[in-house]
Amino acid sequence: MPDTSSTTLTATEETAAAPADVVKTEQRKPRSLWGDAWFELRHRPMFWVSAILLVILLLIAAFPGLFTSADPTKGDLTNHFLSKPELTHFFQPDWFGYDGQGRSIYARVIHGTRNSILVGVGVTAAVTFLGGLLGMLAGYFGGLIDSVISRLTDIFFGIPFLLGTMVVLNAFTDRKVYVVVLALTFLGWTSIARVTRSSVITAKQADYVTAARALGASTTRMLFRHVMPNALAPTIVVATIALGGYISAEATLSYLGLGLSEPAISWGIDISEASKAIRDNPHALMFPAGMLTLTVFAFIMLGDAVRDALDPKLR
């Protein structure tokens, strides 16, 4: 990996040493952490692969009608009971074949995207907000507030994530997207809180924070203008990496019959139904499973790239 700071340095030295009539090299402003991270990201093929995948997935989630005109809930048992896929019929309803209810698997795969991505993004946002806030309070104020929040984090962390979420979800009969989001957030905020707490503790000891305090800045100003922006990077890294995991968790819970409830379309529910007839009809399982894997893969790859870009220690 090229050491960016040293290339910048040599470039400026060259400019200084070069005669004035040589074409002026492009203006090099000092880069912030974020500018640096963006510079790193742009030079990674992995980032671009995941970005292109994600743009397509977001398009599918936002406008499923653009990709298929078939109705994902319309079953035709007489003509299409578990029909095999027609792999050459691109974008047609029978492209991926039909499921045990005679519904187009392609249409269901396309229409299931929105729920998966909504849950993934929703949980990540909620967890970052809740965990970030608690972690920031604990790290910044310390003392009793820190002890209470840290012990709470330990306790919520102590219950195995998937098991606890299953217990919460079992209490609800009509599980819409927001119910699943809240249930996953209930136990999911702990790692973000821990990471944010420790980075806030590091950030608040910086000289500029002491300077701001000496100048009489208010607590909220110090928190949100000085400490938060400088403690944000590790939180963002953990949140991005976790996003793919939440999508996978939603599918797992739906597969167990404890995630989204029908008529919501979820890849997990479809995989669970297809698993009963897997020996003769593997296609009904492979396509939703493949799409799920591809989505999780895209998000995890993005998280990986963001971590490499934001973590200066890895350079």
Nearer to another protein, 223 or 305 (CB): 305
∠ CA 301-48-121, nearest 5°, is 50
Nearer to another protein, 227 or 306 (CB): 306
Query: Where does this chain bind another protein (CB under 8 A)?
Result: 151-152, 154-156, 158-164, 166-168, 170-172, 244, 248, 251-252, 255-258, 271, 275, 278-279, 282, 285, 289, 292-294, 296-297, 300-301, 304
Amino acid at 152: L
- Contact 267/251 with Cβ under 8 angstroms? yes
Shortest Å distance, C-beta 126 to another protein: 18
**Comparing C-alpha atoms, which of 60, 196, 230 is closest to residue 128?**
196
Tokens of 164: 């606890």
In angstroms, rounded to a whole number, what is the distance separating the alpha carbons of residues 72 and 263? Answer: 10
**Comparing C-alpha atoms, which of 231, 306, 313, 235 is closest to residue 40?**
306
DSSP for 52-99, please give it.
Answer: HHHHHHHHHHH-GGGT--S-TT---HHHHTTPPP-TTSTTSTTTT-B-
Tokens of 169: 């979800």
- In eight-state DSSP terms, residue 227 is I
Nearer to another protein, 173 or 220 (CB): 173
> Which phi and psi (to 5°) does residue 215 adopt?
-80, 0
Nearer to another protein, 196 or 248 (CB): 248
Nearer to another protein, 223 or 309 (CB): 309
Nearer to another protein, 223 or 285 (CB): 285
Shortest Å distance, C-beta 57 to another protein: 13
How many CB atoms are closer than 10 A to CB 52?
11
Return the residue matching tokens 């392609």. Answer: 106
Shortest Å distance, C-beta 125 to another protein: 21
Shortest Å distance, C-beta 172 to another protein: 7
Nearer to another protein, 107 or 258 (CB): 258
Shortest Å distance, C-beta 128 to another protein: 20
Shortest Å distance, C-beta 120 to another protein: 13
Shortest Å distance, C-beta 115 to another protein: 15
